[in-house]
Structure 1
Amino acid sequence: MGVTLDLDRIRALPGFEGLVDALGGPAMVRLVGGVVRDTLLGIEPADVDLATSLLPEAVLAALKTAGIRAVPTGLAHGTVTAILPSGPIEVTTLRRDVSTDGRHAVVAFTDAWVDDAARRDFTINALYADPRTGQIYDYFHGLDDLAAARVRFIGDPYGRIAEDHLRILRFFRFHARFGETIDADGLAACAARTNDLMALSRERIAAEVLRLLVARHAVPVVALMIEHGIFRAVLPEITDGTRFAALVAHEAAAAIPPDPIRRLAALLPPDATESVGARLRLSNADRKRLIGAASGVGDEGPHALAYRVGVAGAIDRLLLAGDPGVASVRDWIPPVLPIGGGALVQRGLRKGPEVIATLRQIETAWIAEGFPEQPRVDQLADEAVADARAATIIDNASAASSGRA
């Protein structure tokens, strides 16, 4: 097709040219995968990865000779990470699969570029480029699929899924990011083999699902996944995408970036957030946020909510509720109650539970009145202290009366 890769940004990376030279030049090394795909689409690539016909030990030796720091991050699978001034670049030896079990692969190294391409998942991820000229090497019509905005498995979809079950979720994630027209063969294979997801670790499932939920076309793709039962084996709680679609619309209207945990909460029944968070082995912070997002907004107002649960938590709840008040707290910095226990002791209260209870009463009134300034807080404090002292007098009188009786 005569397509070449624009290498200006990549070749400008400090140390990149020296790395290519150290590995033997374009005859021995090529750009591969996402960096090629994304650059062709005009997207800033997240990573720069290289494939090489050199064996891992030869890569380590070559980088040492060139004075480039090398980290053997995955020697069994052929990966060495070169640490450049511009950041890390993974260099992976060409591979072919020897055996797979749906979760792990045993690989053998090869010097055939087409063999390395054949073991990859989708045609758009099996594109290579000359690091000097930008010439594209396309063994499975990935350029055609990229032009058609189509995510297509390399070879037989059932075989690709049998090699790595996570490819079911990856198929939908990449379609949500890049696709326009769903590949019918790929969809049929994913729907038929969805139970294969049960063999995967919950951490891998969580990572893939959360990335999918913030992709560009997440709403129609999630609806498609629900329709075809893709979630059924591992996330049976996800049965309706209506709230999810509404949340995405609310995020866009409020100009608030998407968040995967918030979006997951929109797909789950509120009473399922705790169990799903545990099942997916989310971090404690993410579990807490997932549960909190489903807790509703109450009737105290956006700012009071943000003060009590934090701005991030309030934004989650307000967006899920479709509350327009979210705009007022988006950049809000919660104030600090301008009075402490010491000021109440100076007003005559005894240290301890009485001060704590009175301070809580003042704070509740302060929140209800919209966080007034110091003069009003002093009035609230005077009133609360008066109430506390009056209550103490009544309690003492009652105790004395009971003693005389």
Structure 2
Amino acid sequence: MILPAASWRTRPGLDALAAALGASEGAARYVGGAVRDTLLELPVADIDIATRHTPAEVIARLKAAGIKAIPTGIAHGTITAVSAGTVVEVTTLRRDVMTDGRHAQVAFTDDWEADAARRDFTMNALYADPITGELFDWFGGLQDLHGRRVRFIGDPYRRIAEDHLRILRFFRFHARFGDAPDAAGLDACTDRANDLMALSRERIAAELLKLLVAKGAVPVVSLMVERGIFRPVLPEIADVPALAALAEAEASAGLPPDAIRRLAALIPADSAEAVGARLRLSNADRKRLIAAHDGVGTEGARALAYRVGPVIALDRLLLAGAPVDELLHWSPPRLPIGGGDLVARGIARGPEVARALREIETRWIAEGFPNAMRTAEIADLVTGQLLDATSNS
């Protein structure tokens, strides 16, 4: 079978890179996601090339061809090549020497099948000749790909023992590509779910957030909850009906799935701070997670977006099942008046200015963010009232 033509295969500098790595002698092949996604007729983002050459030889060959070589992961055999602006990860063929579920010690090899055997799933162990497009498949990846089945290479328990993150990757890939889950893989992930406790929370978070935006996230998360996959590290994840309702609301509004919003749907509001800290989310994402269930108030969607920001407003509205149409093509305006304008109207500098601005802003919001002329009228009214109150006191 031949790899179909795809736009990524004509990116500038890619042919020169393949030539520099000796593709014509069979020393370099495309591998992984680019091959898989091309076969599924999906867009390709990242390109990976596997090669028989050692990292040192890769660097020498690239430099000789005038191609930039960056030793981004040289201890594991990975060089980032930049050829005419096209970025490609080039990795020397490897075999595992020792694994502990979190890290792998590797040795370089020239055996293509040995390199394929250390990968996680059969659909990720497909290789293609850069020149002829000939496909290489040692473990039935093509059959699994066309059958929409995510299957571990060899013994699932062994693959999980090598890298515990593969438990979450199994479900993420199933949510993205799968139909019915592979029974052997599902049972292994269920039996070894406690292995997730050995992983860094950053790795868990990265994988989880990718899973939550996959097209099959809702049924797959439901399956994971049923099988107790989250229990060892994220027992708070349980509210699948809320996730399903949110996913439907996002789709109805024409919004892309949002991982933080979906995580908020899955956990109780009073657990948000603890979950955000445990997963070591960014400060911005923690803020969203904590604020997501704070309610929508009574002022309306645009007033809410003005006060808390459009992103958090969308989170709250969607999670509450409230309409978001008003926000889809709208950005909160700035109050078209400042403290200097009020001083010019006779308000004394200090707390009274702040008080007046708050009152003006409240009325401005209530009137639906009118233009500068109407805002000036509101300011005149408010400052007049304040000045009258001051003179009468």
Interval of TM-score (by shorter of Structure 1 and Structure 2): over 0.9
% identical equivalent positions: 64
Contact 2:78 2:89 in 1 (8 A): yes
Report how far residue 30 of structure 1 moved.
0.6
The separation in 2 between residues aligned to 1:14 and 1:374, in whole angstroms, is 51
Contact 2:212 2:259 in 1 (8 A): yes
3-state SS, counterpart of residue 102 of structure 2 = coil
Q: Are residue 366 (structure 1) and residue 364 (structure 2) matched?
A: yes
Report how far residue 190 of structure 1 moved.
0.5
Contact 1:247 1:320 in 2 (8 A): yes
The separation in 2 between residues aligned to 1:380 and 1:122, in whole angstroms, is 65
Structure 1 residue runs of 4+, over 3 Å off?
Answer: none
Structure 2 match to 1:102: 101
3-state SS, counterpart of residue 57 of structure 1 = helix
* Unaligned runs of at least 5 residues, structure 2: none
Contact 1:315 1:330 in 2 (8 A): no
* Unaligned runs of at least 5 residues, structure 1: 396-405
Report how far residue 189 of structure 1 moved.
0.6
Report how far residue 23 of structure 1 moved.
1.1
The separation in 1 between residues aligned to 2:156 and 2:230, in whole angstroms, is 19
Report how far residue 49 of structure 1 moved.
0.4
Report how far residue 8 of structure 1 moved.
4.4
Structure 2 match to 1:136: 135
The separation in 2 between residues aligned to 1:384 and 1:189, in whole angstroms, is 68
The separation in 2 between residues aligned to 1:169 and 1:116, in whole angstroms, is 22
* Larger-Rg structure: 1
Contact 1:103 1:200 in 2 (8 A): yes
Q: Report the TM-score when normalising by structure 2.
A: 0.97
Against the structure 1 CA distance between its residues 174 and 378, is the aligned structure 2 distance closer, same or farther, given a 3 Å change threshold? same
Contact 1:7 1:131 in 2 (8 A): no
The separation in 2 between residues aligned to 1:371 and 1:97, in whole angstroms, is 63
Structure 2 match to 1:198: 197
The separation in 1 between residues aligned to 2:308 and 2:375, in whole angstroms, is 22
Against the structure 1 CA distance between its residues 378 and 17, is the aligned structure 2 distance closer, same or farther, given a 3 Å change threshold? closer
How far does the alpha carbon of each residue in 1:298-337 deviate from its partner, in whole angstroms, 9 at most, with x for none?
111001001111122211211111112x011111022222
Structure 2 match to 1:377: 375
3-state SS, counterpart of residue 370 of structure 1 = coil
Structure 2 match to 1:34: 33
The separation in 2 between residues aligned to 1:34 and 1:217, in whole angstroms, is 18
Aligned AA for 1:343?
D
Structure 1 match to 2:90: 91
Counterparts of 1:214-253 in structure 2, within 5 Å, are 214-253=213-252
Counterparts of 1:286-365 in structure 2, within 5 Å, are 286-324=285-323, 326-365=324-363
- What's the RMSD between the two structures over aligned residues? 1.3
Q: Report the TM-score when normalising by structure 1.
A: 0.94
Segment drifting more, 373-382 vs 238-247: 373-382
The separation in 2 between residues aligned to 1:351 and 1:8, in whole angstroms, is 66
Paired residues in the alignment total 392
Aligned AA for 2:384?
A
Segment drifting more, 62-71 vs 365-374: 365-374
Structure 2 match to 1:56: 55
Match for residue 17 of structure 1 among 15, 27, 43? 15
Aligned AA for 2:155?
D
Contact 1:73 1:81 in 2 (8 A): yes
Contact 2:6 2:38 in 1 (8 A): no
How far does the alpha carbon of each residue in 1:335-393 deviate from its partner, in whole angstroms, 9 at most, with x for none?
22222222222222101111111111111111112122334323322332233234434
The separation in 1 between residues aligned to 2:345 and 2:23, in whole angstroms, is 80
The separation in 2 between residues aligned to 1:8 and 1:184, in whole angstroms, is 33
3-state SS, counterpart of residue 299 of structure 1 = coil
